[in-house]
Amino acid sequence: MPANFGRHIIYSFSALQTGALDGDGGCEATRVLVVDDNQDAADMLAEGLRLHGLEVRAVYEPLAALQEAAGFRPQVALLDIGRR
């Protein structure tokens, strides 16, 4: 894991809160999709993001994530990608 990994996550979270991830289009990042097969972890992360004013959906299966993304159209997706 890179030495600055934690700082990058904190910076990215701050950017989500302030809308700094708006890019050239000027829209604020407010819709976040959390995907994790660990339901407790996904729900806890989603709730923490909601407490900061973000609209969040949590899903626990890959196919459900694709279906949710098609309708919800998240601006940010946080994915737990496990290696086996």
**Predicted TM-score (pTM) of this structure:** 0.67
Strands of the sheet containing 55-59, edge to edge, are 55-59, 31-35, 76-79
What's the pLDDT band for 1 if we cut at 50, 70, 90? very low
Instruction: Write out the residue range of the structural domain in which residue 54 sits.
Output: 5-79
84 within some domain? no
On the 0-12 / 13-18 / 19+ scale of CB atoms within 10 A, 41 is middle
CATH number at residue 62: 3.40.50.2300
Please tell me the total count of domains within the chain: 1
| CA–CA gap between residue 53 and residue 20 (Å, rounded) | 15
Q: What is the pLDDT of residues 25-76, one digit of tens each?
A: 444 668 999 999 999 999 999 999 998 889 999 999 999 999 999 999 999 8
